[in-house]
Structures are given as C-alpha cells and as structure tokens.
Amino acid sequence: MKIEVLVSTMYQKDRSLPEKMNIQTDAVIVNQCDEERFEEFDYNGHRIRMISTTERGLSKSRNMALSYAEGDVCLLADEDLCYDDGYAERVEEAFAAEPNADVMVFNARLVNAGERTWAYIEQNGEVPKNKYYSSVRIALRLERIRQSEVRFNELFGAGATYTSGEESLFLRQARQKGLRVFQNTAMLSAVDCSASTWFNGFDEKYYFDKGAFLAAAYGKWAFVYKWYFILKSRKISKIGFVAVNRKLKEGIRAYRKQAQGIKA
C-alpha cells in the first residue's frame, strides 16, 4: 500500500517543508504563491512533487493535490502539521484492518490551541452520520474518491468566501455518494494552531460562515439546523444570542444567493 501526503501551503521559497513536517512518505505539495512552477525532488528516499501556483483558496489547493496524487491512500495536510514517526505504518494497518473504509479519520494533537478544540477519537468504527472532523485528520482511498468524483467545495475554506466548513462538506458529499467513513484511534500528528489563517474566535465572521455551511449542507433545512449552533454557542460566543442568530441567518441567505448565481 502506497501512502502519500497531500500538503496545502503558501509562499514556500525552498525545499524545507518535508523536514519541518517530518514527512516519511511520498508527498504532493501545492504551494500557493506568486508564480507557476513544478519541481520534483528526493527527500530521504521519498518522491516529493511541489506544484507552485498563483491560485488561491484552501479547497482549490486540496482539489489540485488530489488531481496530482498517486498514492493508494492519501493523507490531507497543512504546513502547520508535524507527523509522528511511524505514521505511515499506522495508517496502513488501519486500512488493512478495515477494508470497507473509503475514508478514515485519525487522531491529531492540538498545540497552542487557544479557544480552538476538537473531539478526540476514543474507539474504532464507522463515523456517525452527522459527525465531522478537520481535513488534516483525514486519509482516503484515492481510487474511490476519483471514481465517486468527490471534491472540495471551492467556496469554502481558508482564502475562500467562507473560511471554514470545507472538510465537513467533503465528508458529507462522500457519504451521499455511497462512500463509507471510518474512524481510528491512532495518533498521527500534532497541529500548531498559533498562526491560524481563519480562526479568530467565535466572532461574527465565524457564525456568518457557519450559516453558509448550513445552507450548503442542509438546503431548505438550514434554518432548522441553525438552532443547534445557537444552543451550542451559549458559553463560547463572543457576540451574544441575538447576534449569533442574525449572523447565521445572514450566512444562510448569502450562500443561497451566491449558489443561485453560480447555477444561473
């Protein structure tokens, strides 16, 4: 089984990223910067391909990486992630033990997290229908993703109109197309949150983008699902109940208007 890391990054000027991230497999690095260039080099016996591009947006970067990928199983990654030694073996073992898994979610540690939190996986098995995880915890069988034509929604993600939610929409689309999503307790990496490009706390922009996500994910039911986020925000929001409700509704309406324009 060939394991490959798909890295989304920006403004890399040299070949130091594989060492910084402790990459121990082949990798595709999509480097969003101010030039168009392709280079291939060896790092500790592994094939590294770096695609420099003037395109912008995390989901565009993920989709480009998937188009270049050649691994049997691919791990999604960002430049602020550092892999643990032996991660490839743990991924291979997890997929070998669960042949029905098309997508697998693993554990990763948060470093310098501030207000940011996420749930750690405590048991192996299929991921519940409405549970989602950060994209840097996701590994996928490339052939199944390509066969099903699952892609990241390029309106979502850092650098896009709506700065988060792309991984949840990706997993949701995968399930809708019949792919099976599993979780595994193995710890693969650490993620440094100190320089997040999108998360500035539970502010107005956060809830506006969550509203857009609800519209993209749940369609006409978005105004029902928004109450989940309102209740969830009682203790963490910076802006209060009324403002949370207002920004969620604004996000829902903004995405619907934008989506109608794209279809037209």
For residues 179 and 211, membership in a common domain is answered with no
Which candidate, 112, 108, 77, 80, places its Cα nearest to that of 194?
112
Query: What is the pLDDT at residue 199?
Result: 62
Highest-scoring range by mean pLDDT, 43-57, 126-140, 153-167, 181-195: 43-57
Report the DSSP beta bridge partners of residue 51: 30, 38
Asked if 7 and 17 count as a contact pair (C-beta separation under 8 A), the reply is yes
| 216 or 116: which leads in pLDDT | 216
Mean pLDDT, the chain, whole residue set: 89
Same domain, yes or no, for 69 and 163?
A: yes
In degrees and rounded to multiples of 5, residue 125 shows phi and psi of: 145, -175
Helices (H) and strands (E) in the chain, counts: 8, 10
Domain identity same for 184 and 254: no
Asked if 110 and 214 sit in the same domain, the reply is no
Query: Same domain, yes or no, for 185 and 210?
Result: no
**Token duo for residue 94:** 């997890």
How far apart CA 232 and CA 230 sit, in angstroms, is: 5
Where residue 121 sits, what CATH number does that domain have?
Answer: 3.90.550.10
User: Which pTM was predicted?
Assistant: 0.88
For residues 240 and 209, state if they share a domain: yes
Domain co-membership, 67 together with 168: yes
State how many domains the chain has: 2
Q: Are 172 and 153 in contact (CB under 8 A)?
A: no
* Domain boundary residue, one of 166, 192, 218: 192
What does the pLDDT read at residue 128?
A: 84
| Higher pLDDT pick, 197 / 5 | 5
Distance CA 30, CA 11 (A): 10
Task: Tokens for 7, please give them.
Answer: 């890295």
What pLDDT, on a 0 to 100 scale, did the predictor assign at position 235?
Answer: 65
Give residue 250's domain range: 204-263
* Cα gap 156→196, rounded to integer Å: 16
Residues 185, 213, single domain; the answer is: no
- Give the C-alpha separation, 60 to 217, whole Å: 19
